């Protein structure tokens, strides 16, 4: 993995609602709008060596209820591809807890920064300038609070769009494996009460990505049609094709169920109309493998291809990394 240089800016002190009310009354000036994001996969590979959210956790004015904030953060973190890879506080939960600590689950909120000190907050309106007090040196934006100086390739259009913001958070976290760019993680401000609330939201989730232990891979549908191949996709896009709903032991995408094509050999996996058959019955076993009841095989990235568009297969279960899949929520084996 890429080495991360941890840069701390200023003190990490909590900001009270009274203090925020005071700074909101200050004269405001327009802050510069950052450049458009660099082209790349999916929103531009983000440089991982900066602290992208230098401000501490805030008690946001007009914050949404904690449970709703948790649900919002989990929904977008799961869409982006953060893996639900822990029985308690895995990467998906950690990412969602950071989102809660950073923004309170508010997609359009921003915080004005004067060398590590919060001097103003506001809510973004498309087409209008970011307004911060005189003396502001930068500002943090959106769910995961991307700073306009330390993450300049993340445009306002992306930062205040929850799907795009979550996708950038996935990339900045080195595909969901490192969270040191966030001040709330470095200071442990993300931990309580956010971890428990995020875990509860993950436990209740039914929809999100199915992520592979081959980092960066998500299960996807090639199209919404019966017999369409189930393929690999690049995580981090939040694409509808990568969103799956769990219904018992069924894996649904676009209203269709993932199924094996035959009970013998190494069958491909396709979408079929859901009919409750064993061909569509998937059970967790071993080290988070997904075993098909009809073929007795495990969902597999053939040869560990790491190639988007590759059809997944049901192959002999070998407890291999290319057969480990993490679902949006933990289900019983």
pLDDT of residue 13: 27
% of the chain exceeding 90 in pLDDT: 70
Instruction: Please report the pLDDT score of residue 58 as a whole number.
Output: 72
CA distances from 294 to 52, 256, 332 (A): 48, 18, 19
For CA atoms 131, 36, 161, 67, give the dihedral sign.
negative
Give Cβ neighbours of residue 22 (< 8 Å, ≥ 6 apart): none
155-173 burial by CB neighbour count: b if 16+ within 10 A, else e?
bbebbbbbbbbbbbbbbbb
pLDDT tens digits along 125-149: 999 999 999 999 999 999 999 999 9
What pLDDT is attached to residue 119? 93
pLDDT, the chain, mean: 83
Closest CA to 235 of 207, 269, 271, 209: 209
- Output 47 or 309, whichever has higher pLDDT: 309
Summarize the confidence of residues 94-99 as an average pLDDT.
97
Flag whether pLDDT at 226 surpasses 80: yes
Q: pLDDT band at residue 331, thresholds of 50, 70 and 90? A: low
More confident residue, 252 or 30: 252
Mean predicted confidence (pLDDT) in 179-190 = 92
Mean pLDDT of 235-241: 95
In a 13 Å sphere around the CA of 158, the CA atoms on its Cβ side amount to 26
Task: Answer yes or no: are the C-beta atoms of 66 and 197 closer than 8 Å.
Answer: yes
The pLDDT assigned to 45 comes to 42
CB contact at 8 A, 73 and 99: yes
Q: Who wins on pLDDT, 319 or 298?
A: 298
Which residue has better confidence, 282 or 319? 282
pLDDT band at 286 (very low <50, low <70, confident <90, very high): confident
Secondary structure in 3-state letters for the chain: CCCCCCCCCCCCCCECHHHHHHHHCCCEEECCCCCCCCCCCCCCCCCCCCCCECCCCECCCCCCCHHHHHHHHHHHHHHHCCCCCCCCCCHHHHHHHHHHHHHCCCCCEEEEECCCCEEEEEECCCCCCCEEECCCCEEEECCCCEECCCCCCCCHHHHCCHHHHHHHHHHHCCCCCCCCCEHHHHCCCCCCCHHHHHHHHHHHCCEECCEECCCCEEEEECCCCCCCEEEEEECCCCCHHHCEEEECCEEEECCEEEEECCCCCCCEEEEECCCCCHHHCEEEECCCEEEECCCCCEEECHHHCCCCCCECEEECCCCCHHHEEECCCCCCC
pLDDT on residue 5:
25
Report the C-alpha gap between 54 and 116 in whole angstroms.
Answer: 6
Query: Tokens 């004005």 appear where?
Result: 112
pLDDT one-digit tens code per residue, 251-280: 999 999 999 999 888 999 999 999 999 999
Name the band, by pLDDT with cuts 50, 70 and 90, for residue 60.
low
pLDDT of residue 330: 66
Is it the case that residue 222 has pLDDT exceeding 90?
A: yes
pLDDT tier for residue 35 given thresholds of 50, 70 and 90: very low
pTM (predicted TM-score):
0.83
């Amino acid at each position: 993995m890429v080495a991360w240089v941890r840069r701390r800016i200023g003190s990490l002190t909590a900001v009270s609602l009274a203090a925020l009310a005071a700074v909101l009354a200050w004269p405001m000036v327009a802050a510069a709008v950052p450049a458009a994001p660099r082209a790349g996969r999916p929103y531009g590979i983000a440089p991982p060596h900066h602290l992208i959210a230098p401000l501490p956790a805030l008690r946001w004015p007009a914050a949404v209820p904690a449970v709703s904030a948790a649900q919002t953060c989990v929904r977008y973190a799961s869409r982006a591809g953060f893996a639900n890879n822990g029985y308690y506080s895995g990467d998906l939960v950690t990412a969602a807890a950071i989102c809660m600590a950073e923004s309170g689950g508010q997609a359009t909120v921003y915080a004005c920064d004067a060398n590590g000190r919060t001097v103003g907050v506001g809510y973004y309106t498309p087409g209008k300038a970011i307004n911060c007090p005189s003396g502001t040196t930068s500002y943090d934006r959106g769910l995961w609070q991307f700073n306009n100086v330390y993450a300049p390739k993340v445009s306002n259009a992306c930062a205040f769009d929850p799907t795009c913001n979550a996708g950038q958070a996935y990339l900045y976290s080195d595909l969901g494996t490192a969270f040191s760019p966030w001040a709330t993680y470095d200071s442990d401000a993300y931990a309580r009460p956010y971890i428990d609330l995020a875990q509860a939201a993950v436990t209740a989730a039914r929809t999100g990505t199915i992520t592979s232990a081959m980092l960066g891979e998500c299960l996807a549908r090639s199209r919404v049609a019966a017999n369409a191949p189930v393929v690999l996709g690049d995580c981090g896009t939040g694409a509808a094709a990568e969103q799956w709903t769990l219904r018992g032991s069924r894996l649904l995408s676009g209203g269709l169920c993932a199924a094996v094509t035959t009970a013998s050999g190494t069958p491909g996996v396709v979408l079929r109309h859901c009919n409750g058959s064993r061909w569509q019955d998937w059970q967790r076993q071993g080290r988070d493998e997904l075993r098909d009841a009809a073929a007795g095989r495990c969902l597999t990235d053939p040869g560990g291809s790491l190639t988007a568009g590759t059809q997944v297969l049901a192959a002999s279960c070998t407890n291999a990394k290319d057969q480990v899949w993490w679902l949006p929520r933990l289900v019983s084996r």
